[in-house]
A and B are shown apart, each in its own frame.
Chain A
């Protein structure tokens, strides 16, 4: 089974490399490398641009999001990261909340059943009935909210609480768009409030962190 598990064979590196030793004090140029040899970089081909500092392979991570404005809850590389993390977190928390709700409901409904198997089945039915419902609703809300929020941020070239509240209002209106104006207004204001509270909470959290 050694092809499957390697933990036992793993060895601790005997000497840790000091990170300060790795840093090159100045940027090397072609003349530094070619000095001592017969080649003069100034006389080599002019198109090769050998006077400038040398380019190394770029192995850094992608740049983080550069839009000014609201700080993120987590480092983000752009709208895809915002969308995926926002949707994933909302969906998962919705699943957990709905699961607890379904658990509670299932426990209450199957109080009188003595058979363990039937009771377990009833409770699981409750969990799988409520969990995905809440999770799906929250996930779709977060998906649309994050999409609109990123779009507004892209159009305005900055983030801010106005963006979040506007995105929340649009999301809520879209969510209940088949139920008439009254329901749209109610859900719009609810989601906008939630978005505003989330922005404030995020801001205070990241401010304390910095």
Chain B
């Protein structure tokens, strides 16, 4: 199954990394998205200024939402790994369950339950896709048994093989 990923840092520290990565992704993506949206949704003559204003007000908020989601997910992922002592797709699904629940906790019990289950389902789909893609890649790189040449006739062993 999934093994430890050595391109990522060990567990408590990777939370900070994931927080920053998710926040950066959200902020940069939000800046692009909201500047285009602000440009399109404003009358001619105010397009430039409203694009900047929209990006300034909305991009950090989107980044914050992304960052909180990613950081919370990473925290729960580390906690689940610590409890289960295992690396497999269930980690991400359980962490997604807790993340979705924690983010919806102010909306009441029903919202918490729905958020948790929905988030776990999304992550289950992600993990399933990851496994499917991994299988497909493995299929492309299936190890092929090398063609073994016929054994040389006995008696010619003293002669050095010219080229193997």
List A residues at the B interface (Cβ < 8 Å): 4-7, 10, 38-40, 43-45, 59, 61-62, 74, 80-81, 83-89, 91-92, 124, 132, 135-137, 139-140, 142-143, 178
B84 touches A139 (CB 8 A): no
B121 partner residues in chain A, CB cutoff 8 A: none
Residue from the list A6, A10, A44, A88 in contact with B19, Cβ < 8 A: A88
Main secondary structure of the interface of B (DSSP, over half): helix
Number of A-B contacts (CB under 8 A): 99
Nearest B residue to A8 via CB reads B85
- A143 in contact with B83 given A4-B90, A62-B7 (CB within 8 Å): no
B52 partner residues in chain A, CB cutoff 8 A: 178
* B111 CB–A CB distance under 8 Å: no
Nearest A residue to B88 via CB reads A3
A140 touches B85 (CB 8 A): no
Question: Whole-angstrom distance from the CB of B12 to the nearest CB of chain A?
Answer: 12
Question: Whole-angstrom distance from the CB of A74 to the nearest CB of chain B?
Answer: 7
- A124 in contact with B106 given A7-B84, A87-B24, A136-B60 (CB within 8 Å): yes
A142 partner residues in chain B, CB cutoff 8 A: 20
Residue from B24, B27, B53, B67 whose CB has the most chain A CB atoms within 10 Å: B24
Among listed B35-43, B131-139, B155-163, interface-contacting one: B155-163
A87 touches B23 (CB 8 A): yes
B164 partner residues in chain A, CB cutoff 8 A: 39, 44-45
B56 touches A81 (CB 8 A): no
Residue from the list A38, A44, A139 in contact with B60, Cβ < 8 A: A139
* B104 CB–A CB distance under 8 Å: no
* B110 CB–A CB distance under 8 Å: no
B20 touches A6 (CB 8 A): no
Question: Whole-angstrom distance from the CB of A160 to the nearest CB of chain B?
Answer: 23
A40 partner residues in chain B, CB cutoff 8 A: 160
Given A88-B15, A91-B19, 18 more contacts at CB 8 Å? Answer: A5-B84, A7-B83, A39-B160, A44-B161, A44-B163, A84-B17, A87-B19, A124-B106, A132-B61, A132-B64, A132-B68, A136-B63, A139-B23, A139-B63, A139-B67, A140-B27, A142-B20, A143-B27
Residue from the list A4, A38, A43, A83 in contact with B24, Cβ < 8 A: A83
B83 touches A136 (CB 8 A): no
How far apart are the CA atoms of A92 and B12 in the complex, in Å? 14
How far apart are the CA atoms of A59 and B3 in the complex, in Å? 14
Question: Whole-angstrom distance from the CB of B90 to the nearest CB of chain A?
Answer: 7
How far apart are the CA atoms of A6 and B16 in the complex, in Å? 27
B17 touches A81 (CB 8 A): yes
Residue from the list B16, B21, B86 in contact with A89, Cβ < 8 A: B16
B157 partner residues in chain A, CB cutoff 8 A: 38
B160 touches A43 (CB 8 A): yes
